[in-house]
Amino acid sequence: MSKSWADSAPPSNLLLGQDDVSPVVVTNLGGCSPFLLLGDHAGRAIPRRLGDLGLAPAAMDRHIAWDIGVAGLGARLAEALDAVFIRQAYSRLVIDCNRRPGAAGSIPEVSDDVAIPGNAGLGAAEIAARHDEIYLPYQDAIAAELDRRTSVATLLVSLHSFTPVFQGQARPWRIGVLHRGDSRLSDRMLALLRRELGEDAGDNQPYRMDEIDNTVPLHADPRGLDYLELEVRQDLIADPDGQAWAAGLLAALLTEAVTA
């Protein structure tokens, strides 16, 4: 079951209007799994008041706008695990929920050498509207779900995807585990992925978890929760068959990781 942000949320007259989609989509609300699945970059919507951000339509199909395949992967994984999946509906180009507010890249003016005209020269009120109406409801929804789980030892699983080639550099990994060296779940999943995929399982590849990451540290650290941040190569999950393959593999390994 999918659900949008609370119907009782007050309408905004600054950014989001009545015709705009909710910033938060929750799949399988009430799922009993200890895993809480997150999709910071799973959506690519743009508020109507921002037009097209000055971009050609083709740009919104690229990785600069969203994590390709994650929405479908997360929905299938939620079903397989009976897990809750909370994802952002709006594009990372509007505001990046995996960046701290005000940090570089939070509202990018350039992404992978593509200028974002609609993000240039924003005033304080415009920045605040994106934070208050898109970023904050998403992070609040995660916090509310964690508050609800008083009897569950929650394990955060943040889902992302990456391009097969970036700025001319091939990325051979199929799935990467991003971590800070402080996660038992991450260590276990990396070992299991290496068993299944060999060197195609990346250890802090193609990115590493560092001070740039926001969502996992924001929610896991204060609550003492274990976490897993996964990067899946986009060409592998760009269609339903690939998403089903990845969800089947990850569901089996996540189950093994917590029962070992």
pLDDT of residue 168: 84
pLDDT of residue 150: 83
pLDDT of residue 1: 58
Q: Long-range contacts made by residues 118-122, C-beta under 8 angstroms, separation at least 24?
A: 118/50, 118/51, 118/52, 118/53, 118/54, 118/55, 119/53, 119/93
pLDDT of residue 2: 59
CATH number at residue 61: 3.40.630.40
Distance, first Cα to last Cα, the chain: 30
Tens-place pLDDT, residues 215-245: 999 999 999 999 999 999 999 999 999 999 9
Count: domains in the chain: 1
pLDDT of residue 3: 53
Note down the domain range covering 138.
2-259
Block mean pLDDT (10 aa), the chain, length 260: 46 81 97 97 98 96 97 98 98 98 95 95 96 98 95 94 91 97 98 98 96 96 97 98 98 94
Cα dist from 167 to 70, 189, 206, 236, whole Å: 22, 29, 13, 19
Q: Cα separation of 39 and 71, whole Å?
A: 7
pLDDT of residue 4: 46
The pairing of strands 35-39 and 84-88 is parallel
pLDDT of residue 13: 56
Q: Where are the alpha helices (DSSP H) in the chain?
A: 70-81, 124-130, 136-148, 184-197, 215-223, 240-259
pLDDT of residue 6: 41
